[in-house]
């Protein structure tokens, strides 16, 4: 099978991409609106960028009507966000927060989650999440225009909080973390199935 994006709808190429680019980690992003409403939404077009400076990126796309998602509006307003890691135990709540709630409704409340004050940024963290990264905006890269165009958010990590329950010998233990990944359609995976490889000789 050959897929040529030039001959496909955006929706068809999206479905192919989300099944081919797997598993994807989930940035559960908390932000705050200019009216002070705490917002929370998951984004799986998400990755680390580099450790120098410690940075991350995620890609909120425009809604089908071309408008920006609340997360983007809030980050453009105050340049801050928190990325909360999603363990298997919080999968249902994470999914709930992806609902299209009006900007005045806090997804924290809708999903029964606890907003807790951050140290370096204004948006609150998700208390129930075992790892929270407080970030400030480096830049938003606009890719495309109109519906589904991306507002690629690149941010610097200012502080990482890790629950001691997911550490072993002062390091994050991915088996204890039990984070989830997104696959295509409704499918997710767990990170319980792990194996190790030694790196080849490095320069
Ligand atoms: C697991 C998961 C991953 C998602 N990944 C993305 C993504 O990478 N980009 C995006 O624009 N929307 C993504 N969504 C949809 C957003 O979470 C959804 O549009 C949400 O309502 C945006 O909220 P906001 O308007 O409060 O920012 C994802 C949804 C789920 C459940």
Domains and CATH numbers, the chain: 9-190 (2.30.110.10)
Asked if the model's pLDDT at residue 202 lies above 90, the reply is: no
E strand intervals along the chain = 24-25, 27-32, 38-43, 46-51, 54-58, 80-84, 115-116, 125-126, 131-143, 150-162, 167-168, 171-172, 180-182, 188-190
Query: 168: CA distance to ligand 1 center in Å?
Result: 32
Q: Which atom of ligand 1 lies at the shortest distance from residue 62's CA?
A: 11
Asked if the model's pLDDT at residue 85 lies above 90, the reply is: yes
Work out the pLDDT band at 188, boundaries 50, 70, 90.
very high
Distance in angstroms (rounded) separating the CA atoms of residues 195 and 35: 46
pLDDT of 117: 98
Burial of 200 (0-12, 13-18, 19+ CB in 10 A): exposed
- Tell me phi and psi for residue 155, to 5 degrees: -135, 155
Query: 149: CA distance to ligand 1 center in Å?
Result: 13
Number of residues that make up the chain: 203
Q: Do the beta carbons of residue 121 and residue 134 sit within 8 Å?
A: yes
> Is residue 166 helix, strand or coil?
helix
Q: Which atom of ligand 1 lies at the shortest distance from residue 43's CA?
A: 5
Strand order in the sheet with 180-182: 24-25, 180-182, 188-190
Asked if the model's pLDDT at residue 203 lies above 90, the reply is: no
Question: What six digits make up the tokens of 135?
Answer: 């970030």
CB neighbour list of residue 5: distance below 8 Å, 6 or more residues apart = 13
Q: Going by CA atoms, what residue is nearest to atom 30 of ligand 1?
A: 42
pTM of the model: 0.97
Question: What six digits make up the tokens of 161?
Answer: 């909080």
pLDDT digits (tens, 9 = 90+) for 25-66: 999 999 999 999 999 999 999 999 999 999 999 999 999 999
Work out the pLDDT band at 103, boundaries 50, 70, 90.
confident
Q: Which atom of ligand 1 lies at the shortest distance from residue 100's CA?
A: 21
Mean residue pLDDT of the chain comes to: 97
Q: Using most ligand atoms within 8 A of CB, pick from 60, 72, 75, 96 the residue to mutate for ligand 1.
A: 60
pLDDT digits (tens, 9 = 90+) for 132-159: 999 999 999 999 999 999 999 999 999 9
């Amino acid at each position: 099978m050959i897929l040529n994006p030039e001959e496909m709808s955006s929706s068809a190429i999206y479905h192919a991409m989300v099944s081919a680019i797997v598993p994807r980690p989930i940035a559960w992003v908390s932000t705050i609106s200019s009216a002070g409403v705490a917002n929370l939404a998951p984004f799986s077009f998400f990755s680390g960028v580099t450790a120098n400076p410690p940075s991350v990126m995620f890609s909120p796309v425009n809604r089908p009507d071309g408008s920006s998602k609340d997360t983007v509006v809030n980050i453009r307003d105050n340049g801050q966000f928190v990325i909360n890691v999603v363990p298997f135990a919080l999968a249902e709540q994470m999914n709930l927060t992806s609902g299209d709630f009006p900007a005045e409704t806090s997804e924290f409340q809708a999903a029964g989650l606890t907003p807790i004050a951050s140290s370096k940024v204004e948006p609150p963290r998700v208390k129930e999440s075992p790892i929270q990264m407080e970030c400030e905006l480096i830049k938003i890269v606009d890719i495309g225009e109109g519906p589904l165009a991306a507002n690629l958010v690149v941010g610097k990590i200012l502080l990482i909080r890790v629950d001691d329950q997911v550490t072993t010998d002062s390091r994050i233990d991915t088996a204890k973390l039990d984070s989830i990944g997104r696959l295509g359609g409704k499918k997710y995976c767990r990170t319980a199935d792990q194996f190790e490889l030694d790196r080849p000789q490095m320069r």
